[in-house]
Amino acid sequence: MTDEPTEPVLLTADDDGVRTLTLNRPFRKNAINAELWAALADALTDAGKDPDIRALVVTGAGGAFCSGADVAAGGIASGPAHPLRGMRKLTDVAQLLHELPIPSIAKVDGVAVGAGWNLALGCDFVVATPQARFSQIFARRGLSLDLGGSWLLPKLVGLQQAKRLVLLADMIGAEEARDLNLVTWVVAAEEIDSFVADLGKRLAAGPPVALAQSKALLNEGANSTMREALANEARAQVINFATEDAPEAAAAFAEKRDARFTGTWAVQGRPAR
């Protein structure tokens, strides 16, 4: 095996409020090693805290999204540490992505398998090319699923289809994944960059506080009672009333222009901390 290239394992680029994270190990189809797990955790933490970042895109370099954890490098069980410590690197990434307060988009070309597919499913939207291929490949590697797959899949496709995907570990195409609600859009390879760029700009132009709360409400709603969901919605709406975005939306409607959302705190006499 040749030595690995010395380029960063994760590339970061910002464009008008949209941050793109590119998994950059194309010689391994962007399989995630320990260094890349750590870089992803740091990058997701930074994106969630940066007030100038309003949307996130996750993609892969070299014509692949992600071939999962890098088992050839020993995976999470390499080294003298207990494997549970390695697993925490995965769970940290899954939790950070799920709780990210900004909308997220997975841009998928080529393979997205194992933890790589669940990384994509952890995003709010999945945009794939017709050439994209997906597999919950864990069973072929003698493993059970991880990176949130056991939570995400039944909610997205139902229990029986989740079991079919996981226990048989079949490879499926982009069209079937879309039919199963595992891909949001299938877009031609030559158009996917502009499609995702436009989608990211639309999300970045939205009201950041309201979008963050709506995302959290939807994520939590599947596990809430109706009473709990209504109470959570009421609390979230009161927070929206305390920003300048709701009156800005009303003014923009009256003036027949696009709203300019900032998420700025609007309650007088009590500055935000």
Last residue in a domain, options 189, 204, 219: 204
Tokens of 195: 């499609």
Q: How many domains does the chain have?
A: 2
In a domain, 108, yes or no: yes
Same domain for 238 and 126: no
Map residue 211 onto helix, strand or coil. Answer: helix
Same domain for 267 and 248: yes
Same domain for 215 and 226: yes
Overall pTM > 0.85: yes
Read off the pLDDT of residues 90-117 as tens digits, 9 standing for 90 and up: 899 999 999 999 999 999 999 999 999 9
CA–CA dist 261, 246 (Å, integer): 9
In a domain, 2, yes or no: no
Domain holding 64, by residue range, is 10-204
In a domain, 5, yes or no: no
CA–CA dist 42, 212 (Å, integer): 20
Alpha-carbon 33 to chain mean position = 19
The CATH number assigned to the domain holding 16 equals 3.90.226.10
Read off the pLDDT of residues 72-83 as tens digits, 9 standing for 90 and up: 765 555 556 667
In a domain, 111, yes or no: yes
pLDDT exceeds cutoff 90 at 6: no
Same domain for 216 and 190: no
In a domain, 4, yes or no: no
CA–CA dist 204, 225 (Å, integer): 31
In a domain, 160, yes or no: yes
Alpha-carbon 31 to chain mean position = 17
Read off the pLDDT of residues 180-231 as tens digits, 9 standing for 90 and up: 999 999 999 999 999 999 999 999 999 999 999 999 999 998 888 989 999 9
In a domain, 102, yes or no: yes
Q: What sections of 134-271 are H helices per DSSP?
A: 149-157, 159-168, 174-179, 192-204, 208-221, 226-241, 245-254
